[in-house]
């Protein structure tokens, strides 16, 4: 039976689809040599473990590739989906519908319509949890509608940015100093360090700015703890002086720096002096390290 006999919006079972058009009965991507098509199956509600599948505000249907564990690779079903046009296969997307009657084993799907992988940006990579709850890299395909589509299908909670944007022209953050409390939580410690150091910088006549970074192809917004506008200095704040925290901060600062012109200086604010080896590590990367003194001041490796 020809693929053009699929009607946009029709509701079918997966068993019926494979009987008509061939393809593999399991998995989210089902290539079929019988009918020269690739079928994509989307869960009723992808949920928090798949926040990257659904309609975006850009009019594109974003679809997380196949592979439940570990980093996804461009093989098998993922490769068939990527190359469906050059292989002469039509691409159709089916959205799983919720069960109407308990105990019914067959799930039904609504045919959302025909799509094609976006020729300009076929896919991008993103971070997401795998079936074991571990973070991994996934492949997210960008599927453009070809003709009419049926209503419905999941929607993305946030659409990936079309271009990288650095929002620096924001009001100076209003940060009130926070007094030390017994059994201070890590979050409270970070807030207090940030507030105290911001107050210290203002006393020196520095202008501060809040900064958000949206990276092209990413759905998450990164927030830089402090930007010393006067000195063009990015400041990352950590609530621990451990090696793990310092290494994490270094990665964040290096990531943020490339989005600024002119290139900013980098600084790391810690709750206490780190070990000598970690100071050497930061010095080798020209990263200033700052920590508070018992008297209420701050020590800097650049003083």
pLDDT score recorded for residue 92: 97
Q: How far apart are CA 265 and CA 88, in angstroms?
A: 52
Strands of 221-228's sheet in order across:
165-167, 208-214, 221-228, 233-237, 265-269, 287-292, 298-300
Verify that 134 and 244 share a domain, yes or no: no
Verify that 186 and 144 share a domain, yes or no: no
State how beta strands 233-237 and 221-228 pair.
antiparallel
Verify that 19 and 135 share a domain, yes or no: yes
149, 179, 211 - which closes a domain: 149
Q: What is the DSSP secondary-structure string of 225-236?
A: EEEETTTTEEEE
- What single-letter DSSP state applies at residue 250? H
Q: Are 112 and 96 in contact (CB under 8 A)?
A: no
pLDDT score recorded for residue 165: 79
Any domain includes 159:
no
Verify that 136 and 185 share a domain, yes or no: no
Backbone angles phi, psi at 217, to 5 degrees: 85, -5
CA dihedral (131, 136, 137, 140) positive or negative: positive
Q: How far is CA 41 from CA 10, 55, 134, 154, in A?
A: 14, 14, 23, 12
pLDDT score recorded for residue 158: 87
Confidence of residue 102 (pLDDT cuts 50, 70, 90): low
Q: How far is CA 75 from CA 61, 62, 66, 67, in A?
A: 21, 18, 9, 10
Closest Cα to residue 77, out of 134, 139, 20?
139
Averaged pLDDT for residues 258-276: 94
Q: Are 160 and 217 in contact (CB under 8 A)?
A: yes
Any domain includes 233:
yes
Q: Bridge partners of 212?
A: 167, 223
| pTM across the whole model | 0.67
pLDDT tens readout for residues 131-159: 888 888 899 999 999 999 999 999 998 89
pLDDT above 80 (res 273): yes
Any domain includes 259:
yes
pLDDT tens readout for residues 179-237: 444 457 888 889 999 999 999 999 999 999 989 998 887 888 888 999 999 999 999 99
Any domain includes 96:
yes
Q: What is the number of structural domains in the chain? A: 2
pLDDT score recorded for residue 107: 83
State how beta strands 123-129 and 108-117 pair.
unpaired
CATH number where 234 lies: 3.40.1350.10
CATH number where 129 lies: 2.30.280.10
Confidence of residue 101 (pLDDT cuts 50, 70, 90): low
Backbone angles phi, psi at 118, to 5 degrees: -55, 120
pLDDT score recorded for residue 230: 96
pLDDT score recorded for residue 130: 82
100, 123, 149 - which closes a domain: 149
Verify that 29 and 108 share a domain, yes or no: yes
Any domain includes 49:
yes
Q: How far apart are CA 117 and CA 123, in angstroms?
A: 8
Any domain includes 77:
yes
Any domain includes 270:
yes
Question: Domain limits at 219?
Answer: 165-300
Any domain includes 21:
yes
Verify that 144 and 169 share a domain, yes or no: no
pLDDT tens readout for residues 13-54: 999 999 999 998 889 999 999 999 999 999 887 766 678 999
Q: Is 23 helix (H, G, I), strand (E, B) or coil?
A: coil
Q: Which residue has the tokens 């000598």?
A: 276
């Amino acid at each position: 039976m020809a693929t053009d006999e699929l009607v946009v919006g029709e509701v079918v079972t997966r068993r019926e689809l494979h009987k008509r058009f061939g393809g593999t009965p399991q998995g989210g991507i089902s290539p079929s040599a019988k009918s020269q098509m690739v079928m994509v199956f989307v869960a009723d509600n992808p949920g928090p473990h798949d926040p990257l599948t659904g309609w975006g505000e850009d009019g594109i249907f974003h679809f997380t590739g196949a592979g439940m564990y570990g980093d996804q690779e461009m093989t098998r079903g993922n490769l068939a989906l990527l190359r469906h046009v050059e292989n002469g296969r039509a691409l159709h997307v089916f959205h799983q519908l919720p069960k109407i009657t308990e105990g019914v084993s067959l799930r039904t799907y609504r045919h959302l319509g025909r799509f094609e992988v976006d020729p300009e940006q076929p896919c991008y990579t993103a971070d997401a949890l795998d079936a074991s709850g571990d973070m991994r890299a996934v492949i997210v395909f960008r599927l453009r509608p070809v003709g009419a589509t049926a209503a419905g299908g999941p929607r993305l909670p946030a659409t990936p940015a079309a271009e990288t944007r650095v929002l620096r022209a924001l009001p100076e953050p209003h940060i009130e100093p926070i007094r030390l409390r017994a059994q201070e939580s890590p979050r409270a410690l970070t807030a207090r360090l940030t507030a105290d150091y911001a107050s210290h910088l203002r006393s020196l006549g520095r202008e501060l700015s809040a900064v958000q970074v949206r990276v092209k192809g990413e759905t998450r917004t990164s927030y830089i703890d402090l930007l010393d506008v006067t000195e063009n200095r990015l400041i990352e704040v950590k609530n621990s002086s451990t090696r793990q925290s310092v290494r994490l901060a270094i990665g964040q600062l290096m990531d943020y720096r490339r989005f600024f012109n002119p290139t900013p200086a980098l600084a790391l604010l810690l709750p206490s002096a780190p070990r000598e080896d970690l100071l050497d590590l930061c010095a080798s990367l020209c990263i200033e390290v700052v920590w508070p003194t018992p008297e209420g001041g701050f020590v800097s490796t650049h003083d």
